[in-house]
Every structure is written in C-alpha cells, then in structure tokens.
Structure 1
Amino acid sequence: VIYNGLPTVKLPTKEEARRILSLPEDAFIIGNNARLTTQKNPLAFVEVAKQVVLEKPSSIFVWIGDGPLEYSVKAKVKEYNLEKNVRFYGFRKDSDIIVVAYDLFLFTSLYEGLPYAPLEALRAKVPVIATNVTGNCEVIDNKVTGHLVSNDMVNEAAKIIIDAINGENSITPETIEKNFEKKFSINTMIKKIEKNYCEE
C-alpha cells in the first residue's frame, strides 16, 4: 500500500504553540482539528471532556475548526459548565503545525477516508486516540502511535486520557516519529512509487 506522504514542515515548539493559542504551558491539553460536523462527532468530544474534567479539573480540551454544529456543541459545553475547559478556535490555517501544542489528539470521527488531521498530529509526535473505523485504523498503530477505540468511545477514551495525565502513557515521541517516517513521510511515498515503477 502506498499512502499519501506528508512533507516535512518546520514546527514551533510546544511552548510557542501554546503561547499562540493562549494556553497554559503546564496544563494537559487534548485537542482535535476538524470541522464541527456530524461525521467528526464533536459531541462525543465534549462528553469525553466532561468525564475527564470531573477527575482532572485542570485539563483543557481544544477544538480547531468550524462548521454547522458549532452552536449546538457550544451549547452543550455551556450546559456542562465546561467553558473554562473546552476551548474553540474556529478555522486556522496553521492547524497542521499548531497541533504540536497538544499532549494528546482525540479524533472522534464516525467514519473516515484516509484522514489528514491525525497524520499531522503524528508528524508532530503527538499520540492519537481515534475511533476504530476505516481510515483511522490505517493511520494509527494501536498502542504504538496511539489508541483505537470503539465508536461508543466516551468511557474508553476518557480512561486513556486520565491514565496519560497520571503518567501511565507508554507511547513515546520517538516511537511515533519512527513509525511516521516509515509509513507516511513524503520520502517513503516517493521510494515506494519508484520501486513499483521500476518493477513494472
């Protein structure tokens, strides 16, 4: 299989990215970069936040992206009194690099093709929690670069996040980087195309 490769980009430091988003440097940040649509399931993101914040009240959830569900999702955040913990930034052109601000990337989609947002997170060496659907399961190497969870994922994802905040996350940036370079870098894509071309 030849995946679309992502080019190498210059990333800000985690501290720089957090300053850009006005996020505290010492908080545990869980983020998602996606449209606020039914497919991306932002209400599940809020439900996970609700559970995590009950145990870890200083944790912060970030959503970068806009869309038709913006009003209803923000209303749910207000209903749960999570305005300090769940922050919305709308559409940003720099979302592919600002992802380095996150400690975990929480991708709640109900279905996918080959999603770019979690790939961009992996390029930034950020572990990904994603629903175990087609596309996501090609991007995430379970328990190596992240965690694949069921579509009914709220309890499962919340537990993984709380464990990570407690320092129980065994996934390392080095492992993520090696896996990404092996499967999804632009150089890997070019080499595979050249190999296939030469074999024909």
Structure 2
Amino acid sequence: MIPKKKRPFPATGKGLFHRFLSALDDASVPGQHPALHVDDIVAERLQVLTCPAAASAAAADQQKRSFPVKLAEAVRQAGERDMPTRWFFCFFERILDKFSDLTINVSEGERKTALHHKVTSPKKSILIYNGIKETKREITPDHRSFIVGTTARLEPQKDPWTFFYIAKDIVSRFENVKFVYVGDGSMRNEIEAEINKHNLQGRIILTGFQKNPLDFVQTFNIYLITSLYEGMPYSVLEALNFGLPLVATNVIGNNEVVENGYNGFLFEKKK
C-alpha cells in the first residue's frame, strides 16, 4: 500500500476520470474501462501498457500502486480541437503525460502538434504509424453506377454535412452517381431528414452501423473523407489498400497518406 502522500491521484479523483473516459469515448462505461482491469493485466504479465490519453490517468494510478508495467500514452489530437475544448484536452494531456513513460503519435503531424502545444517532450515522444493487414479486394464494383463512399461516425469531427453537400451537388448533375455513408451517430436523424426533404433517397444512402464495413468499401469507386481533424485514420489506409483514389480534407494524417494528384486529391476543411 503506497502512502497517501505518494499516490499519483487522490482516490476521490477516480469519479472524475471515469466521467472523462465516457466523454471521450461513447463506448466506454464508467468503471469498466479496460485500463482498470488490473487483475487481467497482472495475469498476462504485461510489461508495457498502451492506452488512450483519457485512460492513462486511471491506468497510471493503478499501475504505479499494483504492478511494474511501463505506460505508453497514445495522444488523441488534443491540439486540433476547437477552443475551449482544445485548452481542456491539452491541459489534461499535460497532466497525464507526467505519469506516462512514453508518448506514442500515429502521424508526424500529430507528433509536431503535440510538441507545439507542449503536451509532451521530444525525449518521450515517438512516432509509430497506424498499419493494417494487406487484404485482397474480393468484391467487384457494379459498373452500372459510380459510388463515392466513406466509413465514419456521423459526428461533428467527421463533418458529415460537408459529405452531404458534396453529394447533393454531384448527384444533381450525374445520374449514375451514388453516395454511401457507412456508419452511425448522433447526426444521423438530421441528415436523413435533409435527404428526404430533397428526395435524394437512393442517391445519398446512410447505411447505419455495419459489422463488415469493408464489404461496402470494396464497392466504392472513390473514397471521400471530410474530417475536421484526424491522427492517422485507418479508413483511409483501408481504402488505399483496395486501390481506391482518395478525396480527403487537408488535415493531419490525411495529408501524410494522400499525395495530391497522385493517389488522390486534398481539399481544405470547413472553417
């Protein structure tokens, strides 16, 4: 038992971090985050624990008390968010960095941003790009139509309204083009209402959540991503794996994968 004065966080602080976990990740349940499953970690004899920055505080509190494990923190684009959210996330990241042995960034742009906002130090920061397993394209696109698609949450960060406005303009001029948005989220109802308002059902399709989104990606002719900020999106790597040309916002992550005019095109994000 570590004396109270040496504890990284007061015991009463866990409630705050549980709420913080939930705010960052809709899938997390207070008190049930994997980072808190100490017994499982000990049983597996893990030596390095990697977790999102939000989980790092709770994980650090547990690991410093209970078992000798190195903690690697994965930074989540804190510096790319709008104010005052940016200030809040950067502030939390700086605190959590003090309890981490290493900070992992998944793109060079993300690393530079973290250093610029003093979220971490150059000595603790390393770059490990996201990667995917190479897979073959097993589904042939239907050449009777031309499909522009994306896989993303219907949430503000992904800017689905820009996807809608691009789709609305293109389908009004080309009869054989369809736009497909694979994913679900809090903005689905409002965008679906706008699709119905303009009688664009069948031309702009919201599939909702799908267990096998890559089955849809293989039917696309172009992959469109309209995110306001990213780290290194797996969806772009998956689309590139299937040989799809990319049309992407010129943001961190996207602009390290898309070579403008070669494997796709970049455009400026919504202001």
- Both structures adopt the same fold (TM-score exceeding 0.5): yes
Aligned CA-pair RMSD: 1.7
**What is the distance in 2 between the residues matched to 1:125 and 1:4?**
18
Residue matched to 1:122: 240
Query: Which protein has the bigger strand share?
Result: 2
1:2 CA drift (Å): 4.7
**What is the distance in 1 between the residues matched to 2:179 and 2:245?**
15
Structure-2 change in CA distance of 1:2 and 1:97 (3 Å): farther
The answer as to 2:213 corresponding to 1:95 is yes
1:151 CA drift (Å): 1.1
Query: Which protein has the bigger helix share?
Result: 1
Q: Answer yes or no: is the 8 Å Cα contact 1:97–1:124 preserved in 2.
A: no
**What is the distance in 1 between the residues matched to 2:270 and 2:154?**
18
> Any unmatched runs of 5+ in structure 2?
1-126
Which structure is richer in relative contact order (CA contacts within 8 A, separation 6 or more)? Answer: 1
The answer as to 2:130 corresponding to 1:4 is yes
Q: Which among 184, 187, 203 is matched to residue 69 of structure 1? A: 187
Residue matched to 1:78: 196
Q: Give matches, 1:108-147, under 5 Å.
A: 108-147=226-265
Residue matched to 2:267: 149
Larger Rg: 2
Secondary structure of the corresponding residue to residue 120 of structure 1: helix
Residue matched to 2:51: none
Secondary structure of the corresponding residue to residue 39 of structure 1: helix
**What is the distance in 1 between the residues matched to 2:195 and 2:160?**
11
Amino acid at match of 1:141: E
> Any unmatched runs of 5+ in structure 1?
16-23, 154-200
**What is the distance in 1 between the residues matched to 2:212 and 2:263?**
23
Cα shift readout 1:76-97 (whole Å, capped 9, x = no counterpart): 1112221120111111222134
Secondary structure of the corresponding residue to residue 218 of structure 2: helix
